[in-house]
A and B are shown apart, each in its own frame.
Chain A
Amino acid sequence: MGFFGFGKKENIADMVNALPSSGITVLSLKALDFIVPGGWSNYTNFDEMLRSVTRENDETFLASVKNRAIELYEDSSQGYQSAMRLYRLVDSTDKALGTAALADKMSEKFSLLSFLTYLTPKADKAQVIDLTLKLIAELLAFTKINGIPGDSFNDFIKALGEYAGESRMRMAGLVCFDGLIPLGAGFINFSLKHLENFTPSELADNTTFKSMRDEIPGDNDSDKLGFIRRGFVETQGWMKGFIAEHHLSANTVIDKIRAFVDVTEDKLDYLAAFLDISTNYFEHTGTQTLAARLIERAVNEI
């Protein structure tokens, strides 16, 4: 949780209002619009989101909903703050570089060449664990935001099938920016192979894992690694289906990214590193998901 000036605590409305309407994160997400055509609205104004989600216009009524949404987020026992923490943890954005990239933007595009000295392509192993931890964070955040809806397996499966809008966009980002672009078309099998050889001590050295260790089930790092492996294995089918459904390949996604990043063939290795440190798509769309669910609940509770 951050604090604004004068000691004012940041609430969920402030968080949405602080989201950018432009910049590399937004451009990157818009590049994936072909996967979720028209399905994602980049809400950067909480009140606008409030009117859209509730379909209401009465200001007094909307103020009550807003207050309740803020109140629900503030109650740490509700799990919403933990979900936000997870979304933030798995983005490794270097905000200074993101800002520098914006300042150095040439004409309509960012020039990757300007940043090569700052960029180091991640070792495959590090990329695999980043991808996997994002996937685990998504599963954990889902349960923290929505609980475990319904009384049966079938009920719960149906709840998962409702992934839409910004949640679907976040999953598109996961598959494209953390899978296809850095690791190529075979990233799922490649990741599974690496995960098999990964050791608990290697996991323990990972910065993101250190931050989210307490959130991952398991008594020790060995158990937690087992859980992470199982998470990836169990969701590989979904990722393969997503790629097949949208005919995704590294080339199709890179072509979309080239609309706003100038990158030559011999420097493609650096593109994933650039996106990694200059975007925070998990936090961005995660904030929108959280706000939408809070509004949905609040309007039903007031």
Chain B
Amino acid sequence: MIKFSKQRKTIIAILLLSLCLSLLSCGSKDEVSIPPTTPAAGGIFNKFFPKKTGDADIVFIQEKSGFAEAKLKKSGKEVATLSIADIVGRSGAADKFNSMTIAGYPAAQSGSQGTALLVKNRFQVQVRSKDDGFTADDRRQWLEKFDLRGLENLK
């Protein structure tokens, strides 16, 4: 990982955010509502992610149309990824959610390293292990740390 000093980080961030504003015409994310048939802007999902606590840090790494992803780091080491994906319009994507529930939502294993649940029949919330010590139980616990009710109430 490139080690940026605080000052350097700030100036690079300012530059890139100016790029963002110039290129992408980012609007206020709070003003965005979810379109009924096309994927929602990824930025509206950020506020539903678990919050940083203790030695667990959340680092957002991707924000694309219908998708937001963060790394979960413990003591500086990546142990899992956390994501919310809008699966609207993708036929069959919700079919796997038929074997279990987590926090009252339909849930499923996603490969051997991921556990996912489905909110509002379109928002797939997933936790994937990036370290052998991060178990299926850990994934379930971190899925429950998302603001699932908030996501369900998204208009």
Contacts and interface: CB of A to CB of B under 8 A. Distances in A.
A230 interface: yes
A56 B112 contact: yes
Contacts of A205: none
A197 interface: no
A3 interface: no
B62 A162 contact: no
Contacts of A155: 46, 59-60
A87 to B, nearest CB: 17
B65 A151 contact: no
Interface residues of A, number: 51
Interface stretch (B6-14, B99-107, B139-147): B6-14
A200 B48 CA distance: 46
Nearest to B20: A148
A83 to B, nearest CB: 12
A78 interface: yes
A236 to B, nearest CB: 9
Contact of A55 (B3, B15, B130): B130
Interface string A106-148: 0000000000000000000000000000000001101101111
A238 B4 contact: yes
A293 B19 contact: no
A299 B63 contact: no
A162 to B, nearest CB: 6
Nearest to A293: B62
A187 B1 CA distance: 24
A156 B5 CA distance: 14
Interface string B51-89: 000000001111111011111000000000101010100
Most A-side CB within 10 Å, residue of B16, B47, B63, B93: B16
Contact of B47 (A142, A148, A151, A168): A151
B9 to A, nearest CB: 4
Interface size class of B (residues with CB under 8 A): 35 or more
Interface in A154-211: 155-164, 168, 171
A158 B15 contact: no
A248 to B, nearest CB: 13
Contact of B2 (A61, A242, A293): A242
Contact of B16 (A55, A160, A161, A245): A160
Q: Which applies to chain B's interface (DSSP): helix, strand, loop or mixed? A: mixed
A160 B15 CA distance: 12
A238 B65 contact: no
B91 interface: no
A20 interface: no
Contact of A147 (B3, B8, B17, B62): B62
B59 A162 contact: yes
Contacts of A234: 11-12, 14-15
Given A78-B64, A159-B59, A164 B1 contact: yes
B16 A241 contact: no
A151 B128 contact: no
Contacts of B65: 77-78
Interface string A24-60: 0000000000000000000000000000001111100
Given A139-B16, A168-B2, A237 B85 contact: no
A148 B10 contact: no
Nearest to B30: A151
Contact of A153 (B1, B13, B83, B114): B13
B23 A217 contact: yes
A159 B16 CA distance: 11
B12 to A, nearest CB: 6
A302 interface: yes
Contact of B5 (A79, A149, A241, A299): A241
Given A56-B111, A242-B2, A147 B85 contact: no
Interface of B: 1-5, 7-17, 19-20, 22-24, 26, 29, 42-43, 46-47, 59-65, 67-71, 81, 83, 85, 87, 93, 110-114, 124, 126, 128-130
Given A150-B60, A301-B85, 6 more contacts: A77-B65, A139-B19, A151-B43, A238-B4, A300-B124, A300-B128
